[in-house]
Structure 1
């Protein structure tokens, strides 16, 4: 099932948001236009705008107004990916060459900065200080999360709690405020926006854990990058942390990870993945993802019954079982 199949009723509005995304990065500099559109046109799930629109259904739904939240949030997410690809030295993203691979690191960094700036310019079209406060606070936390990830490259001694705090900042917060800001921009009551934030936070945590699982269990065709890319880049994810806690597997896995750190660690990636798959780390990570999904659904159940609530539930169930 494709994500858009879940809520066909939003297709027209999402097509509008997609067009606005492309228009939002237009400017006088031809190269920046080209590099900015490169990632946007590669596609993506567009989860954050979708969550904004569904959050807006709990208030007075106004697409003209909601675009000034939906488009900036997707731009912020896209800018962070451009920067991530530089840090991770990634050659592909969504099955296409990254900006840094097609051009170079300097062009990619300025492209990310440009997209961030365009996002903030667009958000100012909504004269609501609460929206700007929530958005800027989340961007600060995202930056902290990125710094923590860099600091923790190949840190095999990190705890589960430390990992969860990092993905909260890197991933879950932006999804949480996407749900929340849709409601805030639509004038929904405080209880609804709070419950939507809680839903988004928990589904964001589940989403990232599933992403980390797919990096180990998926195929290059399904995930758009070679399996094991996280370890190759030094990112120690939840299934790896759980496996390192296994006394029988920790030694061989540590040795494989040390090999990955070498000049050419590609041959050790498959070895590390096989070790992880032989233990219970993947099953443990799956259970935690399901726990976060259950918490998201519990928050959702407290909202008034509606088509939007049904769609949010379907998205949660989709994320919990996604294979791409």
Structure 2
């Protein structure tokens, strides 16, 4: 599995379409991540923010607002807020997961320490709420505040469910809706709300972000078992080593015989992993068709995202967002 470079064009087209807005957002991010009294804050933040991420979530805010005909500046504040929320969750996640690599670089908690990562993440959450307040729009504040709570809830649910071999696909989707899709859907819905569109369009853009986010996370989970470190920005097999029950494993467990179930119980449930276990896991995943089944699910969610867009205004950005759904799953084509 790897990136299909021919399908990276939708992201490039989206970036080009909103380049002026994105430049303003990047300037706002640099301005608001500063701290006069604690230089560690911009140091840690810059390590992640400047690490070459695609800024997909803030781009979704800008695209949704423009798609809905918005011509003000509040969407810039919201886009920066969304990026700060995302960056804060990454800082916290790397501490929880004891990760050592993010976007192909050493994690902040490895370069500095856990305390710095947690506290700088807290600072970015606070900054995000300042940016929301600056819009003066209570509805978008409600949307992003709810998303922040849902993200935390999803992460806590994952703590209790991720190593339980009885975890179902429904619970997995609930976790993914929390930890990933919530910010996608909040980004697209907030962009619609600031443009003051009707409820039907607002719901359509929420549904688009929700489905896109679920597809995005399933693809990430698949790449952990079949991508490359260069593509995924972390070590291949990290989810297995961290005992995370992602969709491919859940599907394999559902089809497991007694020996396979004993393997998953030992390696994921109890954390007793030996040399060669990752290779055994990959063999089981392939033999049970779990990777292909998870890939089919990702494609189905991407199709849901495209269907949701049919209720949005006819605008060049609508076609780009539709193609973006294909781009997300192209990483496993």
Quote the offset at 1:206 in angstroms.
0.8
Look up the match of 1:288.
Answer: 297
Contact between 2:68 and 2:197, CA under 8 Å: does it hold in 1?
yes
**Cα distance in 2 between the residues matched to 1:245 and 1:69:** 41
C-alpha deviation, 1:62, in angstroms: 3.1
Distance 1:303-1:214 versus aligned 2 partners, 3 A rule: same
Aligned to 2:117: 108
Q: What is aligned with 1:5?
A: 12
Contact 1:72 1:123 in 2 (8 A): yes
CA contact (8 A) 2:189 2:205 kept: yes
Decide which moves more: 267-276 or 81-90. 267-276
Q: Relative to structure 1, is the Cα distance of residues 114 and 275 closer, same or farther in structure 2, using a 3 angstrom cutoff? A: same
Q: CA deviation at 1:58?
A: 3.3
2:193 aligns with: 184
Structure 2 contact 245–268 (Cα < 8 Å) conserved: no
Moved more, 273-282 or 223-232: 273-282
Change (3 A) 1:320 1:4: closer
Rounded to whole Å, the distance in 1 between the matches of 2:85 and 2:275 is 32
* Alpha carbons 1:259, 1:265 under 8 Å: kept: no
- Aligned ranges 1:114-153 → 2 under 5 Å: 114-153=123-162
Unaligned runs of 5+ in 2: none
Structure 2: distance between partners of 1:73 and 1:266? 40
Look up the match of 2:67.
58
| 8 Å Cα contact 1:56-1:182 kept in structure 2 | yes
Whole-Å separation in 2 of the counterparts to 1:128 and 1:274:
52
> What residue is the counterpart of 2:331 in the other structure?
322
> 1:261-301 CA deviation, whole Å, 9 max, x = no partner?
23x75642233223212321111111111221121111112
Are the counterparts in 1 of residues 25 and 77 from structure 2 also a CA contact under 8 Å? no
1-structure distance, mates of 2:228, 2:157: 28
> Is the CA contact 1:199–1:300 (under 8 Å) kept in the aligned structure 2?
yes
Q: State the TM-score, normalized to the length of structure 1.
A: 0.94
- Structure 1: state its 5+ residue gaps: none
State the Cα RMSD in Å.
2.0
Instruction: Considering Cα pairs closer than 8 Å and 6+ residues apart, tell me whether 1 or 2 has the greater RCO.
Output: 2
Q: 1:305 aligns with which of 310, 314, 327?
A: 314
- 1:49-84 deviation line (CA, Å, top 9, x unaligned): 111111112334236221111010111011001000
The residue that corresponds to 1:42 in the other structure is 51
1:201 to 186, 206, 210: 210
